[in-house]
Structure 1
Amino acid sequence: MERLPGIDAVWPNRSDLVYEQDPDLAAVADWFRAQEDFERRFGLVFRRSFNEVLDGVRTGRYDVAELEKTEKTYIGTKVEIVVRSEFGLEKGRPMDYVIEDRQVDAKFSLSASGWTIPMEAVGHLCLLLHADDRGSRFTVGLIRTTEAVLRGGGNRDSKRGVSKEGKKMIHWLVPDGELPVNRLLHLPENTRDRILAFRSGQQRVNELFRRVQGEIIGRDSVEPVAMQTDVAKRVRDSRLQLWLEGIVILGHQSDHPRIARELALPVPSKGEWISVRLVPDTGDGRPVTIFKGRPSVVAREYEPVQSLPVGTY
Structure 2
Amino acid sequence: MSFFPGQDPEFGDAQSCNAVSQLIIPRTSDIGGFEVRRALPTIKRRLVGPFIFFDRMGPARFGGNGEALDVKPHPHIGLSTVTYLTTGEIGHRDTLGNHTVIRPGDVNLMTAGRGIVHSERTPEDLRQRPHALSGVQTWLALPESDEETDPTFGHTEKNALPTISEAGVSGRVVLGDFCGLKADVRTFTDTLFVDLALRPGARFSFPAEHEERAIYVLEGEVEIAGDRFGPEQLLVLAPLETITISGSGEHGCRLMLFGGAALEKPRHIWWNFVSSSKERIEQAKEDWRQGRFGLVPGDEAEFVPLPGR
The structure with more radius of gyration: 1
Write 1 or 2 for the structure with the bigger share of strand.
2
Does the alignment reach a TM-score above 0.5?
A: no
TM-score under structure 1 length normalisation: 0.26
TM-score under structure 2 length normalisation: 0.26
Write 1 or 2 for the structure with the bigger share of helix.
1
